[in-house]
Structure 1
């Protein structure tokens, strides 16, 4: 029996490993270590380059069958070596190929020099390239390791290709994109598609690199997963695989208090809509009970629009303190439409003192702009009980030094902010990053562009609160909420408003 089960168990382990690899995001520095470790393990480094270049050629032929000519632009390093392999493979397939090199090809060393020798042709200078109709550009100038501005000679070619609206297939990453930050270094190609190797890099997922990379194909060139696992950092793509084991489990004994009680603070009578959006999302995302905590002057405005969500008047610290005596009330959302900075700080203090969980959003974040360390001190130590959901402007109010540091990527900023605040941080945007105090980080990619609408963030805060109150750890609650929020945007479709989102929140994904 054991022998019969062994193949299935091995397959499951293999599949699990490759699912993990599929989620990895590798920085250029770590990719350099992986390449070195692969060579040290006995893998022929030129063999890896050969497989990479062949993959680029295959993608070029598949994607552009009508190309009149493939123009391969080769740089002075290993990215250029990939280009020479691709050029040779394209010629062998019968395509017309022109190769142009940046710098002196005779100065190439190592695998790139071998690739040039196997190509056998004489590349022309990069400056000699003259675009013509029917060209497809294969960009092998610089890969993900670029950390300086493009040289003027390359910038001129980028501009010429753009003027002629020629399609570009990028090797590893469009030249001009910083592989660590996703930023444009002076100028950059805008690719129809990018072929990268083993894993995606931050520049494929962070803006504007994500937009400029086009469709990203990840090709396995043969580096073992064990080497990737040893040298990879703690950054992943946000997918259910990462957090599925933390999903709330429903059993026959489940009742509404097991699923958790979530409370959302309302703003004054003229600003109640944001809290109701959060509350509706929290209920739809799985909280067993949701209560809007409303100032007295807003009770009628809220009562007229709430059905499944309960309502409770809270007019100050004494009211909240009394409410906190109920141990079943575990999680709070504070900030959407709240308005009163002083009261927000006081409420956060009471919630922290009672050991409850808090999602701090919008006005709740801005309330601590002058005293961020006071907020961080409230939730320091122990399990992470605070989730912060800032957009870039709100992030700068709590972390002005991190926001102003141009050397940091968005991932770096979120990681440092999470460590400083002892919070799970959702740094929002089209390339939302979720970070934990221990250094783990995820980059989200499933949110459609039409999700950027007023009130969308209020819905996200409610989903986070629902996940927290069902017992999920803060980081996993935040990451899964961001993913379900993105799925809701796709389900609701183009033209959605925030009011459409709660009903579009999907069930938990199948395991």
Structure 2
């Protein structure tokens, strides 16, 4: 399926290459800056029509050039405008120098700005390409603006946010609104950058989109366009065996709830049959709560071997409430050896903390059959070197982890990143804060398992599962629990 333009993400370096390609093709680069600055002006006047004074803060590069265009346009609209610059504006080059030369608004040094009542700030100091800590003068200005409570409209990205990683580089404005150009950048979605952007508006300033497509970095915003074509469909010939059989492993009698949540979610996600495979001592506890979900005693490796003789049992979830130890590792190894698809979550991930390579080796061959769903702590247990590398973004970590494990990796969080071994990655943005509740991760594992059971490839099942999980949470409302969340799972169509 063709990608929607709103779902493209480019890193700042890739966007810089697009800008250069546009200029090399004969497009007037200052004309692009003019359109960018005018778009910022339109957004500011629309959002703050009663602003008493518009204060434009300009930096030493092209982001500052956009600011000079915006200052000129705001003055031409009849607004009161004040202009402040970082560094020596006489050293500006190229389009930024042209923009400054055409701006009639007198400018003062940035450090002399103190917010006044009624000010609306246009932040054009640094753009998305910032990769170093902001200078002390910017730290001071950010503090002054925060203390004053003045609203900020950011140009491209709030100054102080690294557009590649979403990291705060010393200090950063918290914008009410951000205007970016052509595509969003990872820093608009990754935390904590997302929290600084406010609402984000993406403006087409006239660069042919084929130049964006040529710089495809295989990174998109998660949504149906990424996986809908792989989502199984049903028709009049469908029956439960054709819709796949999902098995969820239960923990002991004192820890059965997580498996039941995953099993119910898998059934709701469309699996035709779902079985909870349980130790004998947990049969009564599980049977008291299961209806449409079946129950099977599986305690030992021999029990599992017998269970796997039915080749229709193709997809499994192991981890929620299962326990950490040699049994978990043995069961995972057995599933891998028989070619099964597996969602490994929670305890299942932690079980391999002492020897992650044993897990990776078990699933090393062929198309990805493993989906890993770690949160930050679990990710660090399997990939400690990646977790400790400050140069890597969350996208970088997820991609490298997926390649190492030959697995689809769901690196969980409010900014979940889903990555495939071939380098494809998506950032999820539809997860409400209400998902921070006990059991919601078990529900996610079950949704992904249910989609795997129906034949979706690992990456597509993982991406779809995360998105459907977020949609269900939005429908369930702010007071959701894991149990009520399940009732709102609905296959998108």
Q: Same fold (TM over 0.5)?
A: yes
Distance (whole Å) between structure 2 residues aligned to residue 335 and residue 507 of structure 1: 24
Q: Which runs of 5+ in 2 are unaligned?
A: none
Write the deviation string for residues 352-397 of structure 1: whole angstroms up to 9, x where unpaired.
1100100000000000001100000000121110000000000000
The one of 205, 223, 227 equivalent to 2:211 is: 227
Moved over 3 A (4+): none
Structure 2 contact 249–278 (Cα < 8 Å) conserved: yes
Distance (whole Å) between structure 1 residues aligned to residue 326 and residue 122 of structure 2: 57
Aligned residue number for residue 87 of structure 1: 71
The one of 317, 341, 346 equivalent to 2:330 is: 346
Aligned residue number for residue 403 of structure 2: 419
- What is the CA distance between 1:251 and its match in structure 2? 2.1
- What is the CA distance between 1:254 and its match in structure 2? 1.3
The one of 362, 372, 380 equivalent to 1:378 is: 362
**Does residue 1:77 correspond to 2:77, yes or no?**
no
Secondary structure in 1 matching 2:409: strand
**Does residue 1:43 correspond to 2:27, yes or no?**
yes
Secondary structure in 2 matching 1:137: strand
- What is the CA distance between 1:489 and its match in structure 2? 0.4
Secondary structure in 2 matching 1:490: helix
**Does residue 1:268 correspond to 2:252, yes or no?**
yes
Instruction: Please give the root-mean-square deviation of Cα atoms over the aligned residues, in Å.
Output: 0.8
Aligned residue number for residue 389 of structure 2: 405
Write the deviation string for residues 164-221 of structure 1: whole angstroms up to 9, x where unpaired.
0100000000000011100100000000000000000010000010011000000000
**Does residue 1:132 correspond to 2:139, yes or no?**
no
Secondary structure in 1 matching 2:143: helix
Aligned residue number for residue 3 of structure 1: none
**Does residue 1:499 correspond to 2:487, yes or no?**
no
- What is the CA distance between 1:118 and its match in structure 2? 1.1
Write the deviation string for residues 323-371 of structure 1: whole angstroms up to 9, x where unpaired.
1010100000000000142111000011011001000000000000011
Aligned residue number for residue 210 of structure 1: 194
Distance (whole Å) between structure 1 residues aligned to residue 324 and residue 76 of structure 2: 70
Q: How does 1:93-492 map to 2 (within 5 A)?
A: 93-492=77-476
Structure 2 contact 247–274 (Cα < 8 Å) conserved: yes
Secondary structure in 2 matching 1:119: coil
Secondary structure in 1 matching 2:102: helix
> Residues 154 and 256 (structure 1 numbering): CA distance in 2 closer, same or farther, change over 3 Å?
same
- How many residues align? The count is 493
Distance (whole Å) between structure 1 residues aligned to residue 46 and residue 394 of structure 2: 34
**Does residue 1:20 correspond to 2:34, yes or no?**
no
Secondary structure in 1 matching 2:4: helix
Secondary structure in 2 matching 1:133: coil
- What is the CA distance between 1:120 and its match in structure 2? 2.6
Secondary structure in 2 matching 1:293: strand
- What is the CA distance between 1:403 and its match in structure 2? 0.3
Q: Which runs of 5+ in 1 are unaligned?
A: 1-15
- What is the CA distance between 1:20 and its match in structure 2? 2.8
Distance (whole Å) between structure 1 residues aligned to residue 467 and residue 76 of structure 2: 44
- What is the CA distance between 1:502 and its match in structure 2? 1.1
Distance (whole Å) between structure 2 residues aligned to residue 413 and residue 358 of structure 1: 21
Secondary structure in 1 matching 2:31: helix
Secondary structure in 2 matching 1:217: strand
Distance (whole Å) between structure 2 residues aligned to residue 295 and residue 150 of structure 1: 57
The two structures have a TM-score, normalised by structure 2, of 0.99
Write the deviation string for residues 76-110 of structure 1: whole angstroms up to 9, x where unpaired.
00000000000111011100000000001111000
- What is the CA distance between 1:133 and its match in structure 2? 0.3
- What is the CA distance between 1:506 and its match in structure 2? 1.8
Structure 2 contact 81–105 (Cα < 8 Å) conserved: no
The two structures have a TM-score, normalised by structure 1, of 0.96
Distance (whole Å) between structure 1 residues aligned to residue 34 and residue 148 of structure 2: 31
